[in-house]
Amino acid sequence: MQKTSSLKIDGQTLELAYDFNLIAEAEDAAGCNLLAALENLQDLTAMQLRGLLFAAIVSTPRLTLLEAGALIRVNTISVVTTALADAYNLTLPASEPKPEPAAPAPESSPV
């Protein structure tokens, strides 16, 4: 059973999970290296964040890349990155030190 974290956004609840197969398959659509993104969750580019979110959403019906990207806005970016980090941490073995979740972007920061 896949462990999922919940992302409450825009009045809907999306289930996020880490699945390497989905990440590998999302790379073509995302147009960037998502493995590099996984290794550096604190310093994601916009394309990587959108790609990771697209790959992580396991709720049905699946969102498109553009729909996933539309969820990421200045006021939601911190919620999204935290939910992604939670989904990643859920798959870590209990003994593994958990990486710090991505630092939330300040609300007022320009994009």
Partner 1 sequence: MSAAGRKWRIIFTHRALLDIEDLTGLDAMRVNLAQLSARLLRAVLFAALREAGSEGSIEDAGAMLKPGAMDRIRRTLIEAWRASFPDPVTDPEPESGSPAPPPLSTLDAWAKARYDFHLSDEEWLAMTPRMLHAIALRNLERMRQSEMMLGVLCAHTVNSSFRAPRTPTQARSYMLHPYPEEPEGPVYGETIMSVFADAPKHKVN
Cα–Cα distances (Å) from 88 to 22, 84, 109, 110, in that order, read 13, 6, 25, 27
- Which segments within the chain are labelled E, that is strand? 5-9, 12-16
Do residues 26 and 51 touch, judged by C-beta distance below 8 A?
Answer: yes
Task: Give the distance between the most distant pair of CA atoms in the chain.
Answer: 39
Among 21, 60, 75, 108, binds partner 1 (CB under 8 A): 21
| Count of residues engaged in binding partner 1, rule: CB under 8 A | 19
* 1 near partner 1, judged by CB under 8 A: no
Touching partner 1, residues 29-58 (CB under 8 A): 33-36, 38
Q: Binding pattern to partner 1, positions 71-110, x when CB under 8 A?
A: -----------------x--xxx--x--------------
CB 14 to partner 1: min, Å: 20
* 23 near partner 1, judged by CB under 8 A: yes
Residue 9 or residue 90: which is nearer to partner 1 going by CB? 90
Cα–Cα distances (Å) from 16 to 12, 41, 59, in that order, read 13, 15, 7
Residue closest to 56 by CA, chosen among 30, 88, 78: 88
Q: Which residues bind partner 1 (CB under 8 A)?
A: 18-21, 23-25, 27-28, 33-36, 38, 88, 91-93, 96
